[in-house]
Structure 1
Amino acid sequence: MTAASPADRLPATLEKGAPVASHASLLQGVSLPAAAIFEAPLAHNLAWMQRFADAHGARLAPHGKTTMTPGLFRRQLAAGAWGITLATAIQCRAAFAAGVERLLLANQLVGEPNMAIIAELIEAGAEFHCVVDGADNVAALGRYFAARGQRLNVLIELGVPGGRCGCRDADQVAALVAAIAEQPALVLAGIEGYEGMISGGDEVAAVCAYGERLVETVRALRASGVLQREAPIVTASGSKWFDLIAEAFDRAELREHYMPVLRPGCYVVHDHRLYAGAMAAVKARHPGLEGELKPALEVFAHVQSLPEPGLAIVALGKRDIGHEPDLPLPLRLYPVASTTTATPRDVSAWRTTHIMDQHVFLAIPDDAEVAVGDVIAFGTSHPCLTFDKWRRVLLVDDALGVREVMETRF
């Protein structure tokens, strides 16, 4: 009989940031570092953004690439979301496997292997839309889906000069409409755009003008009779300018004859710097707006070393937390001697100066009360770039009890 190896005596693989026991406390039952989503602000954000979209007569299709977390997708749909937006065919497949039946690919569908993934989803019952901005892609999609005996919903993407993808002017839109008309397998369902690439000068005025351009373009297409959906889709909105796009869409004619769709993604957990600043700007533009989004995502890690006065090294790095456009933001310290009571101290005056693969450098006061083994909670800026570091994220309550372990699907 073959002797068991030492590895055979270990339990199943334990992902980083996962509890080592059931009914765990984040501070005592989880191998840190760990990414945690606080239950109360998460619920608040879900309800807040859904109310905002409803108040403006728009549907909500949150961008799922932010989290790629089915547990969050399900909560967004339960709160009233019309569907989930994705960025790649693989992301669409992951979302559909998690129960998301209405998928909006806010990207061009390019390459036959990716087309095959989408064809399989359509065959399985998915309602799918993607965007197009060029005749070559339109022809390739038309050939592929005609050969599969399927029809593909497409939205013309309206871009901005110097921006990312999308038609730059009305002539390009007209040429694309003509190209789509030559492909019986394609269904022209509306207009899509992304205002997040607009920058420089009077950005508010430029975003407002872009929203108007989207509306006028979909109106013109509907009037010409080329749109093949009874309520054509007009969609845009990232997480920075959602209020301005909602205002452009919020009019009686659009509510009656079109389907306005907003696509913010980061709102679900918000953040402590980038989108916190964007939310402050939204509130400044709309002083009467009730409430605001709240940060829900934090990453917890141990103080690992105190090698010299004024410096703490934390066992956290680029593989655990996003670091652009801002370095991780220290928020609270939980002393190792009192983690059972989870009594934190505010350390937001401390400053991250450098980040490596597995280490964060913190500038701290020379006389700071800190010990190796203490736990520090860090905030993030731009949550997309933190979620993709994790296969598991923890849903926790205010007392840091782990309520749920949610898997990601990157």
Structure 2
Amino acid sequence: MKLNKALVLKGAADPADHLVRDVSLPALVIHRDPLEHNIRWMQDFVSRSGAQLAPHGKTSMCPALFRRQLEQGAWGMTLASAVQTCTAYAGGVRRVLMANQLVGRANMALIADLQQDVTFEFHCMVDHPDNVQALGAFFAERGQRLNVMIEYGVVGGRCGCRTEQQVLDLAAAIRAQPALALTGIEGYEGVIHGDQAVSGIRAFAASLVRLALELQQDGAFALDKPIITASGSAWYDLIAEGFEAEAASGRFLSILRPGSYVVHDHGIYKDAQCCVLDRRSDLHEGLRPALEVWAHVQSLPEPGFAVIALGKRDVAYDAGLPMPLKRYREGVLPAVGDDVSACTVTAVMDQHAFMTIAAGTELKVGDIISFGTSHPCLTFDKWRTGCLVDEQLNVVESLEIVF
């Protein structure tokens, strides 16, 4: 018996399939037009800011999306681990910022193997002398030189040197390791919260540039134009403005690293984008949500209550529960959706979602509902393939996702 691919690999589809009629659900769905809009929009924004774009690939871990981002003009890709870097390399990426520390000999060996390809450019972060010493010894053994960047953090945040003096001391430790080359400085502003977050982020961007200048004046960098980089998916406009205000692009290669913009969302990044548009009156159009999860109404066990055939195995729930968008019914081609946004998902289990049915909404078992999500990173990592669809909901490409 030959099994249909959609039955073998969750959410898989062929380009000849129609999303409503032919795809086994639940499925991860990416709408082509907003996807392409988002890639162009962010590339244009970063370019006009005098910076370069290295999108964070951990959002999707989808090589086909990496290629689209690079083809649109991205400088390279940002990844979070040695294994992710290997995946990106296998997908054709040849310039990587690993916005994390490279720790452990096995992980170091993965990068050393990739560096045998002279076309591959790699930079990772360091924030402690122990890591500097370990990297220096390992790559000296391999007869290679590793590009490292100092990570500068904030108290109570994630990784990174906590004081400017620690940054300067670490630069001296790197200089003592012939197998290491200091190529820049990096920070992440997304851990700055509170009522004064905007002013705190602006101050953080200015301090990054100030530290970079001091290191440059001390001759610490191995590049004539070192890298200075920050920015997640919520505050990229403030980092771009901060770098511009300090004229960083004239002395440094300024790199922004948002990742979730590629598909955007219906939750936390939608809210963040509204704040960006409020801060920037010159931006007349923002990002568009491109990612949804589609699933069937599985059961209607009680009046006003539906059980949906998706759950924690299928969709992110860390930053808000999935949001019902539209209803579709098989046999209606092209599919015409009814608004079910007044319905509410109240809980998710491993394979089930509980949904309260809004007054006046009629559902049948077997109906298909599209759901918006919040925090796309933790939806992507539940899938091995996604369906790229056109406006008529025809599957135009099956997208491999590699976590």
Normalised TM-score (structure 2): 0.97
Determine if the alignment matches structure 1 residue 260 to structure 2 residue 281. Answer: no
Instruction: Give, as a single letter, the amino acid of the residue that structure 1 aligns with 2:355.
Output: L
How has the CA–CA distance of structure 1 residues 293 and 11 changed in structure 2, closer, same or farther, with 3 Å as cutoff? closer
Distance apart, 1:201 and its partner CA: 2.9
Q: Deviations over 1:357-393 (max 9, x none)?
A: 1101110135521101100000010000000011001
Determine if the alignment matches structure 1 residue 102 to structure 2 residue 95. Answer: yes
Instruction: Give, as a single letter, the amino acid of the residue that structure 2 aligns with 1:330.
Output: P
Distance apart, 1:346 and its partner CA: 0.8
CA distance in 2, matches of 1:198, 1:27: 43
Q: Which of 21, 29, 36 pairs up with 1:28?
A: 21
Distance apart, 1:340 and its partner CA: 2.1
Q: Is the 8 A contact 1:309 1:366 kept in 2?
A: no
CA distance in 2, matches of 1:255, 1:365: 52
Q: Which residue of 2 aligns with 1:327?
A: 321
Determine if the alignment matches structure 1 residue 382 to structure 2 residue 375. Answer: yes
Q: Which residue of 2 aligns with 1:405?
A: 398
Q: Which of 163, 166, 177 pairs up with 2:160?
A: 166
Q: Which residue of 2 aligns with 1:371?
A: 364
Q: Deviations over 1:149-178 (max 9, x none)?
A: 111111000000110000010121122111
Q: Any idea what SS the aligned residue of 2:149 has?
A: strand
Q: Which residue of 1 aligns with 2:208?
A: 214
CA RMSD of superposed structures (Å)? 1.3
Matches within 5 A, 1:186-205: 186-205=180-199
Q: Any idea what SS the aligned residue of 1:283 has?
A: helix
Distance apart, 1:318 and its partner CA: 0.6
Determine if the alignment matches structure 1 residue 239 to structure 2 residue 233. Answer: yes
CA distance in 2, matches of 1:301, 1:64: 26
CA distance in 2, matches of 1:47, 1:199: 29
CA distance in 2, matches of 1:140, 1:152: 12
CA distance in 2, matches of 1:379, 1:178: 49
CA distance in 2, matches of 1:317, 1:286: 37
CA distance in 1, matches of 2:291, 2:112: 35
Determine if the alignment matches structure 1 residue 148 to structure 2 residue 127. Answer: no
CA distance in 2, matches of 1:367, 1:285: 39
Identical residues among aligned pairs (%): 54
Distance apart, 1:329 and its partner CA: 0.6
Q: Which residue of 2 aligns with 1:278?
A: 272
Matches within 5 A, 1:39-188: 39-125=32-118, 126-188=120-182
Instruction: Give, as a single letter, the amino acid of the residue that structure 2 aligns with 1:53.
Output: V
Decide which moves more: 185-194 or 173-182.
173-182
Matches within 5 A, 1:311-322: 311-322=305-316
Q: Is the 8 A contact 1:335 1:371 kept in 2?
A: no
Q: Any idea what SS the aligned residue of 1:196 has?
A: helix
Q: Which residue of 2 aligns with 1:228?
A: 222
Instruction: Give, as a single letter, the amino acid of the residue that structure 1 aligns with 2:165.
Output: D
CA distance in 2, matches of 1:352, 1:176: 49
Q: Deviations over 1:74-100 (max 9, x none)?
A: 000001000000000000000001000
Q: Any idea what SS the aligned residue of 2:78 has?
A: strand
Q: Which runs of 5 or more structure 2 residues have no equivalent in the other structure? A: none
CA distance in 2, matches of 1:67, 1:75: 12
Distance apart, 1:22 and its partner CA: 5.0
CA distance in 1, matches of 2:246, 2:172: 30
Q: Which runs of 5 or more structure 1 residues have no equivalent in the other structure? A: 1-7
Distance apart, 1:10 and its partner CA: 4.1
Q: Which of 285, 300, 307 pairs up with 1:306?
A: 300
CA distance in 1, matches of 2:246, 2:208: 16
Q: Is the 8 A contact 2:34 2:289 kept in 1?
A: yes
Q: Structure 1: which 4+ aligned runs deviate by more than 3 Å? A: 8-13
Q: Is the 8 A contact 2:340 2:361 kept in 1?
A: no
Normalised TM-score (structure 1): 0.96
CA distance in 2, matches of 1:122, 1:77: 20
Instruction: Give, as a single letter, the amino acid of the residue that structure 2 aligns with 1:218.
Output: A
Q: Is the 8 A contact 2:168 2:215 kept in 1?
A: no
Instruction: Give, as a single letter, the amino acid of the residue that structure 2 aligns with 1:226.
Output: A
Q: Any idea what SS the aligned residue of 2:19 has?
A: coil
Instruction: Give, as a single letter, the amino acid of the residue that structure 2 aligns with 1:98.
Output: G
Distance apart, 1:252 and its partner CA: 7.6
Distance apart, 1:283 and its partner CA: 0.6
Matches within 5 A, 1:347-366: 347-365=340-358
Decide which moves more: 358-367 or 36-45.
358-367
CA distance in 1, matches of 2:371, 2:117: 42
Q: Any idea what SS the aligned residue of 1:190 has?
A: strand
Instruction: Give, as a single letter, the amino acid of the residue that structure 1 aligns with 2:299.
Output: S
Distance apart, 1:11 and its partner CA: 5.7
Q: Is the 8 A contact 2:388 2:397 kept in 1?
A: yes
CA distance in 2, matches of 1:153, 1:332: 48
Distance apart, 1:238 and its partner CA: 0.1
Decide which moves more: 249-258 or 350-359.
249-258
Determine if the alignment matches structure 1 residue 290 to structure 2 residue 284. Answer: yes
Instruction: Give, as a single letter, the amino acid of the residue that structure 1 aligns with 2:169.
Output: A
